[in-house]
Amino acid sequence: MSVFRTIKGKSAWIFAGLIALTLCSIVIAITFGPATIKPIAIFQCVFNECASPMHEMVLWQIRIPRVLVGLVAGMGLACAGAILQNVTRNPLADPYLFGIISGAGLGATIATLVLPEQQTLALPLAAFLGALFSVVIVFGIATLLRNMNHLLLTGVAVSFMLGSISHFILYLGDPFATNRVIFWLMGSLTRVEMFHFYLISAMVLITLLTIFALHRQIDALLLGDESAASLGVNVDKLRIILLALCAAVTATIVAYCGGIGFVGLMIPHIVRQLVGVTTMPLIIGSALVGGCFLVWVDVLARSALSNVEIPIGIITSAIGSIFFLAIMYRTRKTG
């Protein structure tokens, strides 16, 4: 009930509009693709029976899984970015810049090259271990430096280090496997299935429920570590839990969708302008906007060029880099 009271206390119309936008985005995105399928045929396939086997294959094996995976992947990355920014009190924190995606990418790269026939279990597990490894390194170095403000800078350094290891492994690997992994690292929803949607959805749901349960402690962190500790919050324990949670959800997404950067940086900033910095509305808004954003980025990726699909990681990185520079410029002016 507290969720609904929080939403009502904020702008209920904003959340209603975001929910409507999300539903419309899902429906409209399904209509995009090389094969022309009329909306009435899509409606018939979803709620009754497909008019032809071709429609059934295109919709249920390609388009619907792709749109739904894009939705939950965007939700997970946006929520991870929002939590990282609130926990570190740094507006530039992001799973990509924090080293989590590079760590997950390293683990997934090793699994893809070493265990090519065991991808269903090996890939997400290796990605999670790699992401967790990067979090341990970042948090350990920041602890040694006795300054949590260095978390982001440490994450950037660790990101470059793990990225260079991934590139070295790819350089030494089989050329065919290397090409497959490089395309995957750039981010793509080409090979996703409904199973991936269920798995990522479960991880995103666990993340949301955990955040909702800890939202008061997370809000206390915004006041500073000393203030949060005076309110009875175990700051180090809470920060470790949330970092591990961000690592888990990011690793699951990276394992099946590849390296999609800057979603966690951009979306929370946009949502804060709409609903503020409080954890509950920020997370709900970030999930809705992040899901819509990645759905439409994927539509752009498969529709911008004829007969060629652009990796979505390229598009998000291009947009995110400009957004990153804009934030830095704005911070410089206000600072």
pLDDT digits (tens, 9 = 90+) for 42-101: 777 777 777 777 777 878 888 889 999 999 999 999 999 999 888 888 777 888 777 877
Integer-rounded Cα radius of gyration of the chain: 20
**For the chain, which residues make up each domain, given as ranges?**
2-58+68-334
Is the per-residue pLDDT at 4 higher than 70?
no
Q: Tell me the C-alpha distance between 276 and 195, whole Å.
A: 35
Q: What's the average model confidence in pLDDT over 182-200?
A: 86
Indicate the pLDDT class of residue 288, thresholds 50, 70 and 90: very high
Q: Which two tokens stand for residue 44?
A: 């018939």
**H-assigned helices in the chain:** 2-9, 12-30, 39-47, 53-58, 64-88, 100-114, 119-145, 151-172, 175-185, 194-213, 215-221, 225-230, 235-257, 263-275, 279-303, 312-334
Is the per-residue pLDDT at 335 higher than 70?
no
Is the per-residue pLDDT at 118 higher than 70?
no
pLDDT at 298: 94
Is the per-residue pLDDT at 3 higher than 60?
no
- Residue predicted with more confidence, 299 or 244: 299
pLDDT digits (tens, 9 = 90+) for 296-320: 999 999 888 877 888 998 999 899 8
Measured CA distances, 66 to 195, 219, 226, 288 (Å): 11, 34, 45, 17
Q: Tell me the C-alpha distance between 182 and 61, whole Å.
A: 24
pLDDT at 80: 93
pLDDT at 148: 63
pLDDT at 171: 84
Please say whether the beta carbons of 297 and 320 come within 8 A: no
pLDDT at 147: 67
Q: What percent of the chain has pLDDT over 90?
A: 27
**Class of 2-58+68-334 in CATH:** mainly alpha
Is the per-residue pLDDT at 34 higher than 80?
no
pLDDT at 1: 47
Q: How many CB atoms lie within 10 A of CB 80?
A: 33
Can you tell me whether residue 214 is helix, strand or coil? coil
Can you tell me whether residue 271 is helix, strand or coil? helix
Amino acid identity, residue 12?
A: A
